Structure 1
Amino acid sequence: MHFRYQQWDERFNRQAGKSPFDTLWDLFQELLTISGGDVSQAMRWLNDIDKEYGVTDQFEEGYGIGDFIEEMQDRGYIRFDEEESIMVPTSKTDRSIREKSLHEIFRQLKKGGKGEHKTPHTGRGLERQPETRNWAPGDDIGHIDSVGTLMNMLQHSSLDQFQLRESDLEVYDTDHHTSASTVLLIDLSHSMILYGEDRITPAKKVAMALSEMIMRNFSSDSLDIVAFGNEAWEIAVKDLPYLKVGPYHTNTLQALRVARSILQRKKFSNKQIFMITDGKPSCMIENGRLYKNSFGLDRKIVNKVLDEAVVCRRKQIDITTFMIARDPYLQNFVRELTDANKGRAYYSSLNELGGYIFEDYIRNRRKNVR
């Protein structure tokens, strides 16, 4: 594990108005995410940071790490697992880490609308468009354009008698709001922690933030999470903070197949796959065994992945790839994948990842609406 330190600013606590517990709690949540849910390891790192930078020395109340541990237990953030004889995080901690991730991601985004997704199409919705059209049965009478309707009526009325016809009625168009089903794929291959760069922690944070946003604001949507390495498997939202990279290759093919299988069971008009990866597809299951090749792009594997991208396109499932690697030959593969699916691709840094995913999620509505 690699850390990047900077000088502790004792003004931080006073400026932010944080209590000693809140200050340590912010640090601990970050360390707990990096440790994959290992409370003991996170506490050791927190003690190391305190020893190096004297974090608790700034607290006027004489508050120490021991007080912090006791308060975490009292508040229900950690508990002792008697079966394993270790401290473990609780569901309250899971939720707190997701909320923290959501706040971090939204600092990157511009302020936007809330509660609904907009499509580029018009229909029944909440926000008026300047354009009007003829009224049709079922339209909300609250959106009638009174001026336009009156002008239509006057064209065939006389001073003695005004006649309002159904054809005179004009209504404002509105944004059409729709729901979406999304599967988020997270690469857990070994390259996500290679070269001294922690790529998995930002990926987990984005996934946690996205899930928290959907559960809060877009309750009609669905989000499923699939992790993949040598194989692909579904995980629960509560397990997101504690994902760990393994000694895995990258089975992109199975990840896409599992995502497609999930989406085909959903009764949603808009279906999409978001894939966060930093590497090439380097393995697949063939005749019950793992076929792998870590040296360059194996066309046997790549062609199978591209075939799956075409199948997704035929099933009207968009694939958006978020590539957190700059290697030109890997970017060429992503271009092939994107072309096969007619989807989208972003080549983003770790700092930009959250902004790209959130903005794309909110604007990615392609269903044609009558």
Structure 2
Amino acid sequence: MNKKRSRTGFKFSSYEDEVKSPFDKLFDIFKELITHTSGDFDEAMDWLKSLDKEYKLTDENYTLDDFVEDLKKKGYIREEIKPDGTSNSNITAKTERAIRKNALNQIFGKIKKNGSGNHKSKFSGIGDEQTGDLRNFQFGDGLDNISITESLKNAQINHGYDNFKLTENDLIVEDTHHKAQMSTVLMIDISHSMILYGEDRITPAKKVAMALAELITTRYPKDTLDILVFGNDAWTIKVKDLPYLQVGPYHTNTVAGLELAMDLLRRKRNTNKNIFMITDGKPSCLRLPDGSYYKNSNGLDRHIVEKCYNMAAQARKLHIPITTFMIAQDPYLQSFVEKFTESNRGKAFYTGLQGLGEMIFHDYESNRKKRIR
């Protein structure tokens, strides 16, 4: 298959051996472009037209105009009339769901599903998830956990065929684990550095957030996920807002993000709580009691970083581990993350953008499988 690399960094190839319809082939590319353009349909189509011109994605049998018409018919875009009487196209909730599913398949698609998707505790006995292990019946065990086949076998062994009877001592049950919920807050840095230096760091962060949200809602529906962004301040966003997320002209107020994350988790009744933080820069901003901002982008400001260390220690006292995904490689920033992680007794990963989603997935799964103490 003939592969080429475009200016966007995507790889395109001929579709001779593909079985997808012309619409599906273009829709796969469209989902990527609409994510990169933060939901801007017109910009995404401009990119698609350029790619079509260069890579011959369509032919006379199925044109880009046909594709747009199909997007409308299938409910992926809607026309909106502006006050001046002109119209524009916007993506719909159906497209937002398709983007999240696409992100999940891209990032987590090679991971095998295991189990029903809830968090096991170390306590066995009266529970609601079968483990496959067998044990003798105990007072309080539910009747629906009794293994009839194994119990009858046990009775035959204990009493024989001639004097067959089934007693409480013969009963065998399939062991169960209690299920536990997990509450997670995902913090995304949207400071200006996330698009500096010729590298788009915000799009991979958005994809990870969408994939994690789709994973939790489809596989672990009893878990909770809150997503917040932090620049000069911090605020929560909804899952449906992720495709439209953009970087702002902000500094990095890590303290505000941590304060909000811990406030969100304090309200959760779940025992298991954790914070994931995706950032590429140093903390450079604080909001003062009078509402003004203290900012310093030059190096690591002692006043700011000490506040971060204090927040990390507070989270540790609340039994909230923080996992930091630092997508910058500067040694002095790594030293900050090391001390921050030590204060929290959490974890840190120093990574580029490649593999970020897989790392977060594995860490989430690892935390999920930890048993309640």
Structure 1-normalised TM-score? 0.86
Distance 1:71 1:112, change over 3 A: closer
Match of 2:300 among 297, 309, 323: 297
Per the alignment, residue 66 of structure 1 pairs with 65
Note the 1:1-370 alignment, pairs <5 A. Answer: 3-5=7-9, 8-10=12-14, 13-56=15-58, 59=59, 62-83=61-82, 85-107=87-109, 109-119=110-120, 121-123=122-124, 124-128=127-131, 130=133, 135-138=138-141, 142=145, 173-287=175-289, 288-365=291-368, 366=370, 368=372
How far residue 236 of structure 1 moved from its aligned partner, in angstroms, is 0.9
Distance 1:81 1:74 in 2: 15
Unaligned runs of 5+ in 2: 1-5
Residue 184 of structure 1 aligns to a residue in which SS? strand
How far residue 330 of structure 1 moved from its aligned partner, in angstroms, is 1.4
Residue 87 of structure 1 aligns to a residue in which SS? strand
Structure 2-normalised TM-score? 0.86
The percentage of counterpart residues that share the same residue type is 47
How far residue 29 of structure 1 moved from its aligned partner, in angstroms, is 1.2
Distance 2:21 2:181 in 1: 40
Letter in 1 for 2:62: Y
Distance 2:9 2:315 in 1: 44
Cα displacement string for residues 74-95 of structure 1 (whole angstroms, at most 9, x for unaligned residues): 2111112213642211111111
Distance 1:5 1:163, change over 3 A: closer
Residue 317 of structure 1 aligns to a residue in which SS? coil
How far residue 193 of structure 1 moved from its aligned partner, in angstroms, is 1.4
Q: Is the 8 A contact 1:269 1:367 kept in 2?
A: no
Distance 1:138 1:6, change over 3 A: closer
Letter in 1 for 2:372: N
Distance 1:81 1:225, change over 3 A: same
Cα displacement string for residues 132-175 of structure 1 (whole angstroms, at most 9, x for unaligned residues): 5883424566367969x969x97xx9xxx999997897766444
How far residue 195 of structure 1 moved from its aligned partner, in angstroms, is 1.7
How far residue 317 of structure 1 moved from its aligned partner, in angstroms, is 1.6
Q: Is the 8 A contact 2:130 2:174 kept in 1?
A: no
Residue 16 of structure 2 aligns to a residue in which SS? helix
Letter in 2 for 1:113: N
Distance 1:143 1:358 in 2: 36
How far residue 9 of structure 1 moved from its aligned partner, in angstroms, is 2.0
Distance 2:271 2:365 in 1: 15
Q: Is the 8 A contact 2:145 2:175 kept in 1?
A: no
Letter in 2 for 1:358: F
Distance 1:255 1:63 in 2: 47
Cα displacement string for residues 272-315 of structure 1 (whole angstroms, at most 9, x for unaligned residues): 11111111111110131111111111111111111111111222
Distance 1:361 1:34 in 2: 25
How far residue 70 of structure 1 moved from its aligned partner, in angstroms, is 1.6
